[in-house]
Amino acid sequence: MTKYAFLFGNHPTLSLAELLSFLTNHKIIFGKYQLLNDILIIDIQRSPSNIAQLHHQLGGIIKVLLIKAEFRGKIFELEKILTPEKLIKEFFAQKDKKINFGISVYSEPDPTYAELNWLNNFAYNIKRKLKDTYSIRYVEDRSMRLSSVQVERNQLIDTGAEIALIRNNDTYLVGRTLSVQDYQAYSERDWDKPSPDAKSGMLPPKLAQMLLNLTRSNRTQTIYDPFCGSGVVLQEAALLGLDVYGSDISEDAVKNTINNLDWFLKLKKLPKINLQTHIKEADATHIKWERLNTTETAIITEPYLGPPLKRILFGRDAEQISRDLGQLYYQFFVNLKKNFSSIKRIGMVFPIFKTRDGLRYVEILDEITKLGYTPKQVLPLESIKKDPSVSKRGGFLYSRPDQLVLRELFVFEKK
């Protein structure tokens, strides 16, 4: 097996669940893993090139590193590990053109000023020793922690290397960055589509991707979104090579989804789909679609989350909205049991409302469970018991600090 490090985004627990689900779904063999703050160290039975190629399918992973060495002691021992000769031979991507390299340090607590100063001098010494033979440039950052944008814009992966140090107590892991998250591609998919729908809310493509990876099994071939909105879930599913179907009670939403998917399929040069037969106007609480009622179909959806909010709600207002949404969601599951009984997995977003009296949940999990749909335990209970990014009911939380409505993610399995 080969040792890798995965750097998580702003929702590390959700990212961990996504990654482990993804590896299991793709039948990728992995060994024991260790979580160091927001970094997962894990042995995987796949080549570095293959892992780098798979990265674009993971919404919660910022960087993927290949671990090349390990040592105990102080950071100053690094000069014995990373000699100029070893960098040229094992780390730098090429040496015929200009080499760009940088160093990032992931440590808790943060490196001291003396350590950062030494690392900076170490990097410049490397440059000095190699400049007579190679055209070389050191990409410097004061914090010694390069962002994905810096790595991408300076072409470190293709022309040289981002060297990463990960400290675990008195042990250091030395890695080379294999890939970084394609921030431009996500931005394009999020903001450049021809028919956005900001009024009813826009599911971030990263979150749609994460929910897909959490929910689908290795048998899943088709994704159905019965609250398709502007089609974000469907575009991300199509990008993964899955067959996609959607419906929405809103005629405008159906038109937006068709328009956006047509644009997206052309943008990514994906196989054409007869969108008029794959997307239709329908009420999610009554729809029957026989061709989708198979064990190879999974439902991934963010339903209507309530009216747009401009201020924090009073408790009684949030209670009324939650009650109305609960009735909608319950009837949706009643219809699933009646008309989609073969579908075994449902990934779904629930809203949690911030109110002046605290958080208000949509309290229908017990009723859904009685219908035969049980929330899946994605991560071990002991690892998430006191995790603030997991709700009191076991749902993964996804939000920004300024949001009035939090997203709560569940994966339901039909008994």
* Structural domain range at position 198: 184-414
How far apart (Å, rounded) are the C-alpha atoms in residues 303 and 351?
9
- Note the pLDDT of residue 30: 96
Long-range (24+ apart) CB contacts under 8 A made by 358-364 are 358/315, 359/406, 360/313, 360/315, 360/318, 360/319, 360/322, 361/322, 361/391, 361/393, 361/408, 362/322, 362/325, 362/326, 362/329, 363/322, 363/326, 364/326, 364/329, 364/330
Maximum pairwise Cα distance, the chain: 74
- Note the pLDDT of residue 226: 98
Shared domain for 80 and 193, answered yes or no, is no
- Note the pLDDT of residue 199: 61
How far apart (Å, rounded) are the C-alpha atoms in residues 374 and 415?
7
- Note the pLDDT of residue 375: 95
pTM of the predicted structure, to 2 decimals: 0.92
User: Last residue of some domain: 181, 206, 240?
Assistant: 181
How far apart (Å, rounded) are the C-alpha atoms in residues 103 and 280?
51
Shared domain for 235 and 368, answered yes or no, is yes
User: Last residue of some domain: 164, 181, 198?
Assistant: 181
Q: Does residue 195 contact residue 136 with C-beta atoms inside 8 Å?
A: no
Shared domain for 210 and 331, answered yes or no, is yes
Shared domain for 210 and 339, answered yes or no, is yes
Q: Does residue 166 contact residue 173 with C-beta atoms inside 8 Å?
A: yes
Shared domain for 157 and 189, answered yes or no, is no
User: Last residue of some domain: 160, 181, 202?
Assistant: 181
Q: Give the CATH number, domain containing residue 288.
A: 3.40.50.150
Shared domain for 203 and 91, answered yes or no, is no
Shared domain for 177 and 189, answered yes or no, is no
Shared domain for 172 and 227, answered yes or no, is no
Shared domain for 256 and 294, answered yes or no, is yes
Q: Is 400 helix (H, G, I), strand (E, B) or coil?
A: coil
Shared domain for 359 and 214, answered yes or no, is yes
Positions in the chain short of pLDDT 70: 198-201
In this structure, what token pair is assigned to residue 28? 């990728």
- Note the pLDDT of residue 169: 85
Q: Give the CATH number, domain containing residue 141.
A: 3.30.2130.30
How far apart (Å, rounded) are the C-alpha atoms in residues 207 and 58?
10
Shared domain for 294 and 164, answered yes or no, is no
Q: If you write DSSP's letter for every residue of 259-272 in order, what string do you get?
A: HHHHHHHHHTTPPP
Number of domains in the chain: 2
Q: Is 113 helix (H, G, I), strand (E, B) or coil?
A: helix
pLDDT digit string (tens) for 271-316?
A: 999 999 999 999 999 999 999 999 999 999 999 999 988 888 888 8
Shared domain for 165 and 130, answered yes or no, is yes
In this structure, what token pair is assigned to residue 258? 């068709």
